[in-house]
Amino acid sequence: MPRMSSPISSIRNLGPAMEAACADAGITSAEELRALGTDAAYARLLRAGHKPHFIGYYVLEMGLQGRPWNDCKGAEKARLRARFDRLKAENIPQTNALDAALDEIGVVPVDRKVSTR
């Protein structure tokens, strides 16, 4: 008899938004997410076009460990930030040097549309 899969939202800290993002990236169950692990799953999210967000990354890590989302602190948080930055660098193409520099300092580029007013 085939085993039923669990929804991603059954993992601590993860709700409908993460479930939808994972579906966009082809991750359809809690079991698949656990098997991938944080880094491989987050890389898939980035390659699927989701914007990087450090809090989302460490919430995923804490959830996969069964810990509260706000349990990430100090040296552990610094290590996760380094992993997150590496994942961004490896999975998001930089469009130009200015965008790369702004990303490095944590500035989110705004839409550069010119106002017609």
User: Which residue ranges of the chain lie beneath pLDDT 50?
Assistant: 111-117
**Contact call for residues 68 and 62 (beta carbons, < 8 A):** yes
pLDDT the model gives residue 110: 53
Burial of 52 (0-12, 13-18, 19+ CB in 10 A): middle
Residue 106: predicted pLDDT: 75
According to the model, what pLDDT value does residue 85 have? 95
Q: Can you list the domains of the chain with their CATH numbers?
A: 8-104 (1.10.150.20)
pTM: 0.77
pLDDT in tens, 79-105: 999 999 999 999 987 667 777 777 778
Answer whether 59's CB lies under 8 Å from 69's CB.
yes
Q: What is the pLDDT of residue 92?
A: 84
| pLDDT of 104 | 75
